[in-house]
């Protein structure tokens, strides 16, 4: 019985310059390795192995997206942001007190912000 061929060597023999060029072109298009293999009539493993040997840029999996950090929604400021004075005035500043949990204002200003202004001033 003859010794079985080294499978890696057998796979290498399929590669010629044209096939490598097509592999690189399809790889650059971002096609899945299985699709590249189908188009080049070679196995997916051959595509992956050759791409590895050619040191082609690994492509991020579409399933692995970098985590996105949500900011700006529901973030409580560190201080009460109730304005004292008018924006633009040189003495304008925020209240600066410790805010009520879940609200952007301190207890006093949260009460002022969330209570409806009384309309019975014309007594
Ligand atoms: Zn305040």
DSSP of 48-93? HHHHHHTTPPPPPPTT-PPPPPP-SSSPPPSS--PEES-BTBTT-E
Quick one: which of 52, 60, 112, 54 has its CA closest to 81?
A: 112
For residue 81, the CA-to-ligand 1 centroid distance in Å is 7
Give pLDDT, residue 20: 95
Q: Is the pLDDT of residue 13 over 60?
A: yes
Q: pTM of the entire structure?
A: 0.40
3: number of Cβ within 10 Å: 5
Average pLDDT, the chain: 79
Q: pLDDT band for position 104 (50/70/90)? A: confident
For residue 87, the CA-to-ligand 1 centroid distance in Å is 16
Region 107-122: mean pLDDT is 76
| pLDDT tens readout for residues 58-103 | 766 555 555 555 554 556 678 998 988 887 888 888 899 999 888 8
Give pLDDT, residue 119: 62
For residue 63, the CA-to-ligand 1 centroid distance in Å is 45
For residue 120, the CA-to-ligand 1 centroid distance in Å is 25
């Amino acid at each position: 019985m003859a010794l079985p061929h080294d499978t890696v060597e057998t796979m290498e023999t399929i590669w010629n310059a044209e096939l490598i060029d097509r592999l690189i072109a399809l790889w650059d298009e971002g096609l899945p390795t299985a699709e590249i293999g189908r188009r080049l009539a070679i196995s997916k493993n051959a595509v992956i192995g050759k791409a590895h040997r050619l040191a082609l840029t690994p492509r991020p999996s579409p399933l692995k997206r970098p985590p996105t950090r949500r900011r700006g929604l529901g973030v409580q400021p560190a201080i009460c942001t109730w304005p004292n004075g008018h924006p633009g005035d040189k003495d304008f500043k925020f209240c600066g007190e410790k805010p009520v949990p879940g609200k952007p204002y301190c207890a006093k200003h949260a009460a002022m912000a969330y209570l409806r202004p009384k309309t019975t001033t014309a007594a």
